Structure 1
Amino acid sequence: MASFLTSDSDYFMVITRNKNGSKSLQKLMGMSDYMDVFFFVAIMRLFIHVMIDKYASYVAIQGMRIFKQDKRELMYDHILRYALFLARDQYGCIALNEIIKELDDPYYRDELLDIISNNALLLSNDAYGNFVVQHVLKLHDSRCTGNIVDKLCGYCIELSFKKYGSYIVERLLEAGDIPMATIILDVLACKTEMLIRLARSEYGNFVVCKLLELTNDILTADLFYSLVNKLRPYRFLLHRFHESKIAAILDSMRVPN
């Protein structure tokens, strides 16, 4: 049965792309080493096609759970090779996040996280890649988070104007003192005109609002006061619905000039 299901590539893909077919194959996997050879060969032969399909990808992920170590390592090598391609695909990014969550091999885990963090700027600007960066930040891996901060330093304002980039900046704000300090220094370094544009923009206003809410309790007084004092003279420009929350926060503050 395993040979019949996997010998023809087209037929194998028809099965794996079907929700019920994918589940059935996953149940067959792991029953014997002999059968797993057929599944492994079929997956590796069609690796990219499998990994970017909504249901077929779960067949490969199941293989990474139950195959012998030598087979898993060959699959991990392919994951590293195609990580950026998968991260920028609609379903590939979901599969990659699942692999990141379950990967228990320290070497391959670190290698994969390094690929993501070293390409954080590219992925943060991508409609699907940003979800991978967000997922990695939620792991609270200090080394990986530090690498992402280094790669995004100087780009936080630019990212905050964009739908996907603003998600990343907000996640960084939640990642700890050092990422937050990096973002606020980027904000303070920009021209006042740029900061007001950010506060009034569709996505940037959420970043500025979160900065004000979080920095009041976490960062040093000097950094917090510097941000508030840079915004307050232009409070009158922040009268629309979204920005009104920023204006309300500014009005509630009593900080020295």
Structure 2
Amino acid sequence: MDSASLEPLQHSFGNLRVNNANVDINGNGRSSSLTWNGSSTGVLPSLDSTDRFLARQDRIIELAILEESSKHLQALILMKDPRITKLIFEGVIDNIFQLMISQYGRYLFQKILELKDEDMLQRIVEKLTLSDRNIIYNASIDRYGSYSVKKLIKVLQKSPLVSEIVKSLASSFWDLMINQTGHYAIMECLDILDSQRNDLLYVEAIDKWLKLATDERGFVALNNFIVRIKGSRRDQLLEQICEQVVFLSQHPDGHFVVQCVLGLQIPAFIQKICYELRGYYVKLSMQKGGSHLVEKCLKSSGLVHVVQEFLQSNQLVQLARNQYGNYVLQTALKEAMKTSGPLHESLVMKLRSCENLRELNHGYGRHILSLIATPILPLNKA
């Protein structure tokens, strides 16, 4: 770094100079022995011009959000001189939100967090949470602010202070979960904090899950939540989803949530879902979203419930000719074949006995006709 590249800082702090690649803080020729590349050969000198720093602290936030001067400030932080660090921190703390959402300032924010100074972290958390403006929420929904919030959570993960951040996130749970960027802050908590620290978020999810499940943006975030939630709260949430499975299965967004629960591969909840859906499988199979859900059931331990309903139905030809249903029926035939039981044979015989079987010669039905006309060979297992 040369004198010219240090110009932005010199304008703000008239006492910064560069001598032989070292930072001269005081402008008196007594430079710091810590070079800009991070190597250290001695002890940092005392500041003779602290007042000059303080007199221009109002400029630090302006510099922090500019690319080059932000890098210079980060370099000063890396020197780990507590006096310099304190001066920089005091210059940004009152504008911490502006720093967090800045494309370049966020890197200085991260460097300050990495110092893990308890007093600084305490003041940052207080600044972010003891406000009516809900700064945590506003930062979380910002493109760059989201990274800052996630970094804060990571640094605080073992600190009691993280509870204040979780509390703030929980207070805006719905708005964060339906925001494309905001929900990542909640997922960060679920990924790195334990169940006890996340409990407020769990409670909010249990309270608002149905509203989220039927929202075109919320169901995606809810699915991400479902695969991360742990402990007894998870079972509580899944139980409530199972109670609404018939409604959800026929909802354009809700069926994705049911599929997500099936994807967890928890036998007890698979059985509950597949049992509750009895009587709806044929109807669902002829719906765009429902057909994917029924295929999920067929590929699970709930296979028998679906096939038994097909065997009792008088709509198999209609199902075979349906643009969605034919794929479900193909899956049923192939999955039943894997079980080496009577389900496959019974399903084939049922289809062959249909009075309108000849109608399968046209359209989507031909896929089914080809499967029941010739034996289905079992898949080779590696």
Give the counterpart of 1:245 among 350, 362, 367: 367
- Offset at 1:201? 0.9
Q: List aligned pairs for 1:49-198, cutoff 5 A.
A: 49-67=175-193, 70-105=196-231, 107-176=232-301, 179-191=302-314, 194-198=315-319
Kindly indicate whether the alpha-carbon contact (under 8 Å) linking 1:188 and 1:227 is maintained by their aligned counterparts in 2: yes
- Offset at 1:242? 2.6
**What letter matches 1:77 in structure 2?**
V
Kindly indicate whether the alpha-carbon contact (under 8 Å) linking 2:258 and 2:293 is maintained by their aligned counterparts in 1: yes
Change (3 A) 1:8 1:22: farther
Q: How many residues align?
A: 248
Identity of aligned residues (%): 29
- Offset at 1:5? 4.4
For residues 224 and 254 of structure 2, what CA distance do their matches in structure 1 show? 14
Kindly indicate whether the alpha-carbon contact (under 8 Å) linking 1:117 and 1:145 is maintained by their aligned counterparts in 2: no
Check if 1:17 corresponds to 2:138.
no
Kindly indicate whether the alpha-carbon contact (under 8 Å) linking 1:103 and 1:109 is maintained by their aligned counterparts in 2: yes
Query: What are the superposed Cα offsets for residues 194-239 of structure 1, whole Å, 9 maximum, x if unpaired?
Result: 2211111111111111112222331533x33332223224332113
- Offset at 1:88? 1.8
Query: What are the superposed Cα offsets for residues 46-103 of structure 1, whole Å, 9 maximum, x if unpaired?
Result: 1211112111011122223445654411221111111212222223222222222222
**What letter matches 1:148 in structure 2?**
I
Give the counterpart of 2:150 among 26, 33, 50: 26
Change (3 A) 1:12 1:185: same
Check if 1:202 corresponds to 2:202.
no
Farther off after superposition, 31-40 or 129-138: 31-40
The 3-state SS of whatever aligns with 1:126 is coil
Kindly indicate whether the alpha-carbon contact (under 8 Å) linking 1:181 and 1:219 is maintained by their aligned counterparts in 2: no
- Offset at 1:115? 1.5
1:212 corresponds to: 333
**What letter matches 1:242 in structure 2?**
Y
Kindly indicate whether the alpha-carbon contact (under 8 Å) linking 1:29 and 1:35 is maintained by their aligned counterparts in 2: no
TM-score normalised over the length of structure 1: 0.86
**What letter matches 1:213 in structure 2?**
K
Check if 1:226 corresponds to 2:346.
yes
- Offset at 1:248? 0.8
**What letter matches 1:91 in structure 2?**
R
Change (3 A) 1:99 1:241: same
- Greater per-residue helix proportion: 1
Farther off after superposition, 157-166 or 117-126: 117-126
CA RMSD of aligned residues (A): 2.3
TM-score normalised over the length of structure 2: 0.60
For residues 241 and 137 of structure 2, what CA distance do their matches in structure 1 show? 28
Kindly indicate whether the alpha-carbon contact (under 8 Å) linking 2:317 and 2:357 is maintained by their aligned counterparts in 1: no
For residues 126 and 19 of structure 1, what CA distance do their matches in structure 2 show? 31
Kindly indicate whether the alpha-carbon contact (under 8 Å) linking 2:146 and 2:181 is maintained by their aligned counterparts in 1: yes
**What letter matches 1:48 in structure 2?**
W
For residues 155 and 89 of structure 1, what CA distance do their matches in structure 2 show? 23
Higher Cα Rg, which structure: 2
The 3-state SS of whatever aligns with 1:19 is coil
